[in-house]
Structure 1
Amino acid sequence: MNGTLRKLALPGVLVAGTAAGMTLADVARDPLPDLGAQTAAPAAAVASANNLSGAFRAASSAAMPGVVHVQVTQATRSVSNQVPPELRGTPWEDMFRQRGGDAPRAGSGSGFIMSPDGYILTNNHVVEGADRVNVILADKREFEARVVGRDPNTDIAVVKVDARNLPTVRLGDADGLEVGDWVLALGYPLDLGQTTTAGIVSAKGRSIGIMGRSGAEAPLEHFIQTDAAINPGNSGGPLVDLQGRVIGINSAIASPTGFYSGYGFAVPINLARRVAEDLMRDGRVHRPMIGVEIRDATSADAEVFRLPSPNGAVVAAEPRGPAAGAGLRLGDVIVAVDGQAVGGSGDLMEMVMRKRPGDRVALDIIRYGQRSRVELRLEEYQADARRASADRRGAAEAPRVEEEAAAEPGKLGFRAEVVTQEIARELGMERAEGVVVSAVDAGGPAAGALGRGMVVRRVNGRPVRTLDELREAADAVRPGQAVSVQVRLPNGSETIVNYRARS
């Protein structure tokens, strides 16, 4: 093998020598270059690098004793569940199916000890469905753990081992983080044992849409994004600052392969601690609510609602509960909570989640250019199964519409037709009136904003009851202008959709 390596390396030496203007004869005449002539690295640069290395060592040493390996076992319930989605329909699917049978499934993740009496914080997806949970400490002690509580909405879980005087981590404050700050990801990735990786905070308040795919009924995503390497097995482990304080829980990665591709995501510790406190005390989360459905403000929203910038959370449906009592309306934009600016829907949900049912909050809102403040008392969120079912049914079903007598306002990017008696019955409308979206141009301005089955109520404030009124409203829109469309959704609720007309 050594001979082969030398042969492969020799052409490289010759090429490199030729490129540098040297020959083997030159090397023979002067086999040892003057090492003293080489420029040494500046002492200040070396000292700075050593200081950073020292900070990494100290932070890892401070936190690692409280980081644990979480091993889970789950009885096989469905062979098809063992096939990863990305492998279904490929030649590897049969291989995964053959590994099924009655054998239990095993998995692992990470966690960290919050209290000396054995409360451990990890991810919900690490322990979800587990029949048995084992925890291995950094000093190799092993304990069987019980799941105290789980919250799929934030991907947080707490498990408990029966032990005392356990090493704990220090909890920090994620609010003080800034993009560019150094952080370390600790855990047990890929069955490699204790591992520390370093990177920076590359973004804050990131939403990647992963919670909704796991069945969460009210997903809350407000991740810290980092380029510290995070891989399967890191889930539930801590993200720490240079003082070794936990500022996040490693939870997800953005990757086409399922392995590290540059970006990982951690739940901020301020949010995780709030959830963990409820789980430790009651086994479930007491989630406060305002009573609004929200979405991020866009540049079109800023033009329509006359916002100073495209920031804030738009009230996207008729308010209910505390919000309705406080006078909020469809189309209001929430721009601050207790004086703290709201950049988007994730900010608002995270700010509210830190509070508790019964707390009073002050909301700054902008209503078509007018800023005001309202106060309300938060109520506890209760899942409304009937509403969720109606939402899913409304999104999945579309009314049958006729192809004739259709209005095609090209600038608006959708086709609409008269609401017939049949369509009214399908949509649960009391009367057959108005016009309904029958098709949306896939490459047009309304794509992703409007959908088939939405009944158009207003366009830029103009009532729309007939196809002629829709055509008139469309004719009044300038190319590239922000269009505000108030619609009735197939589930019966109403919302305002803003987007830019075709240029």
Structure 2
Amino acid sequence: MNTKKIFTLFSVSVLSALIAVIGYTYFVKPSPTVVEVPRAVYPAAQYTSLPSSSASQGQLPDLTIAAEKSIHSVVHVKTVSTQTTNYSGNPLYDFFFGPGMQMPRQQPVMGSGSGVIITTDGYIVTNNHVIEDATNIEVTLNDNRTFKAKMIGTDPATDIALIKIDATDLPYLEYGNSDGLKIGEWVLAVGNPFNLTSTVTAGIVSAKSRNINILRQGQGTLGIESFIQTDAAVNPGNSGGALVNTSGKLVGINTAIASQTGSYTGYSFAVPVSIVKKVVADLMEYGQVQRGVLGVSIRDVNSELNEELDLGTNQGAYVAEVVNGSGAEEAGIKKGDVIVSVENELVTKVSELQEKISRHRPGDKVNVTVIRDGKKKDFIVTLRNIYGSTDVVKADKPFNLLGASFEEVSKKEMMRLRISHGIKVTNVSAGKFREAGVQEGYIITKANRVPINSVEDLRKVVEMVEEGLFLSGIYPNGQVAYYAINLDY
């Protein structure tokens, strides 16, 4: 009797559950939840583990000619930089400077990337993040010859750098036309991922003028992003390598990947050659990039902004502010205008405007077309440099070799350290100071026995240096230090 009751109760429970599930499915009809996975962008020079598989590209056109042309012109770039760490616990150090004081220690850090030969006499373009802070740069050609490279110049705003090796009769890549690239066009990525030299991958152009906010994180509004997006496989070590078209001409410099792991997961990004060749030309001629600016703050136009402000267009670059005394203000451009073309070339978003303006130098006159009150108006704008003039900005090469910035020493600190003059090192980047071991906070009191009261004093000494620079100074903890610096590169 008890067994029968138990079986009956079990059957009723199962039947009730089935009815509840069926009723919920057919009458409540729950909607699926969509979760967006955030994207992280990594410089392609970072290292991680090798991927376990690769997807088939399907039927490809004949890419052998392009591969043969480009593979000998792409080099392996190896760098050595120094990383400063602090450690304490040294009894001798504690005895002189007190317990708990930290002593800086420099450790070598190895890096690797790619580069592209662009002249027969050894000029090589790569990414700034590949050689940034490097104290030694070594280049290995496809034929295994190795050269020490010297820095010619860098442009962090576009992540482009120019280095040079002492060689002749080198194979090089010709510039192609990145403006003429079409969505869906085949391209090759050539580089040295994971130290696997002379690697070629293929894909298509999946987007143009892409802004991924990787350069603006460090450069702010000066960062210029108008990347070519492709699905050619690019991995750590490909940074600075070539993106070429099916004719074997250079159309971009591979720079970043979109990934959650640091390895390739489907999309890569290259600086278009339209930007690269302008940056390279400036670095060769002036030692630094001559960047013309309009003098406006801008944002992308979309349907919401158009509806809100009645702009008369869903595309373009909206002028949010005009800088006083800028070329844009003098030409007559106003807040609320929408820039839709430059030199009769269409502008649909901010990244396209930045790319087109970046091709010009201070003093250049450009035709800018805007929409104002529903009508198109043309303005001739004379571009200025970042300092507000039309002059060419000359590189202060000897002084810039130091790789440091400075500030005045407060009277309070001078009294505490019992010094009467000096300037403080506030930042040390790639350059002679870092190579010599100069740390941030170091106060330079004399340079080549000349008392230093200002940055201009140090600049004058550096300009007169023939053999070397000898610094005398003191750190904030009272440690006296001397440095001998060779300014030859």
TM-score range, shorter chain: 0.5 to 0.7
Q: How many angstroms does 1:371 deviate by? A: 2.2
The answer to whether residue 124 in structure 2 is matched with residue 120 in structure 1 is yes
Correspondence for 2:83 among 70, 73, 76: 76
The 3 A distance-change label for structure 1 pair 303 and 186 is same
Q: Is the 8 A contact 1:305 1:368 kept in 2?
A: no
What SS does the aligned partner of 2:107 have? coil
The answer to whether residue 357 in structure 2 is matched with residue 363 in structure 1 is no
CA distance in 1, matches of 2:71, 2:239: 15
Aligned amino acid, residue 354 of structure 1 = R
What SS does the aligned partner of 1:286 have? coil
**Alignment coverage as a number of residue pairs:** 315
CA distance in 2, matches of 1:243, 1:103: 44
Correspondence for 2:185? 181
Q: How many angstroms does 1:217 deviate by? A: 5.6
Correspondence for 2:65 among 58, 77, 80: 58
Which runs of 5 or more structure 1 residues have no equivalent in the other structure? Answer: 1-47, 81-99, 385-503
What SS does the aligned partner of 2:314 have? coil
The answer to whether residue 172 in structure 2 is matched with residue 168 in structure 1 is yes
Correspondence for 1:267 among 271, 278, 288: 271
User: How do 1:72-221 and structure 2 match up within 5 A?
Assistant: 72-78=79-85, 102-215=106-219, 218-221=222-225
CA distance in 1, matches of 2:308, 2:219: 34
Q: How many angstroms does 1:331 deviate by? A: 1.3
What SS does the aligned partner of 1:335 have? strand
CA distance in 1, matches of 2:262, 2:106: 26
The 3 A distance-change label for structure 1 pair 351 and 78 is farther
Aligned amino acid, residue 75 of structure 1 = T
CA distance in 2, matches of 1:133, 1:116: 19
CA distance in 1, matches of 2:383, 2:107: 47
Which of the pair has the greater relative contact order for Cα pairs under 8 Å at 6+ separation?
Answer: 2
CA distance in 2, matches of 1:137, 1:184: 19
Q: Is the 8 A contact 2:331 2:379 kept in 1?
A: yes
CA distance in 1, matches of 2:388, 2:221: 7
CA distance in 2, matches of 1:194, 1:379: 42
CA distance in 2, matches of 1:234, 1:357: 33
Q: Is the 8 A contact 1:319 1:328 kept in 2?
A: no
Q: Deviations over 1:114-144 (max 9, x none)?
A: 1111100000000110000000000100000
Query: If the length of structure 1 is used for normalisation, what is the TM-score?
Result: 0.60
Q: Is the 8 A contact 1:185 1:230 kept in 2?
A: yes
CA distance in 2, matches of 1:103, 1:338: 50
CA distance in 1, matches of 2:219, 2:345: 31
Percent of aligned positions that are identical: 45
CA distance in 2, matches of 1:60, 1:371: 46
Q: Is the 8 A contact 1:67 1:186 kept in 2?
A: yes
The 3 A distance-change label for structure 1 pair 140 and 348 is same
CA distance in 1, matches of 2:145, 2:161: 21
Aligned amino acid, residue 282 of structure 1 = Y
Correspondence for 1:330? 335
Greater Cα offset, 368-377 or 280-289: 368-377
CA distance in 1, matches of 2:381, 2:235: 42
The 3 A distance-change label for structure 1 pair 299 and 238 is same
Q: How many angstroms does 1:262 deviate by? A: 0.5
CA distance in 2, matches of 1:341, 1:246: 23
CA distance in 1, matches of 2:105, 2:64: 45
CA distance in 2, matches of 1:308, 1:242: 40
Q: Deviations over 1:241-287 (max 9, x none)?
A: 11111100000000011110100000001111101110111110000
Correspondence for 2:20? none
Correspondence for 1:344? 349
Aligned amino acid, residue 171 of structure 1 = Y
Correspondence for 2:289 among 285, 288, 310: 285
Q: Deviations over 1:176-207 (max 9, x none)?
A: 10110011100000111210011100000000
Aligned amino acid, residue 304 of structure 2 = A
Q: Deviations over 1:331-386 (max 9, x none)?
A: 111111121111111111111111221111111111232321111211122399xx
User: How do 1:318-467 and structure 2 match up within 5 A?
Assistant: 318-320=322-324, 321-382=326-387
Q: How many angstroms does 1:75 deviate by? A: 1.3
Correspondence for 1:244 among 242, 248, 253: 248
Q: Is the 8 A contact 2:255 2:269 kept in 1?
A: yes
Higher helix share: 1
CA distance in 2, matches of 1:372, 1:213: 34
Aligned amino acid, residue 261 of structure 2 = T
Correspondence for 1:422? none
Q: Is the 8 A contact 2:312 2:373 kept in 1?
A: no
CA distance in 1, matches of 2:228, 2:160: 15
Q: Deviations over 1:20-69 (max 9, x none)?
A: xxxxxxxxxxxxxxxxxxxxxxxxxxxx95xx45x211111111111000
The 3 A distance-change label for structure 1 pair 177 and 324 is same
Query: If the length of structure 2 is used for normalisation, what is the TM-score?
Result: 0.62
What SS does the aligned partner of 1:116 have? coil
Q: Is the 8 A contact 2:322 2:328 kept in 1?
A: no
CA distance in 1, matches of 2:353, 2:73: 32
The 3 A distance-change label for structure 1 pair 257 and 243 is same
Q: Is the 8 A contact 1:109 1:236 kept in 2?
A: yes
The 3 A distance-change label for structure 1 pair 217 and 283 is farther
The 3 A distance-change label for structure 1 pair 78 and 351 is farther
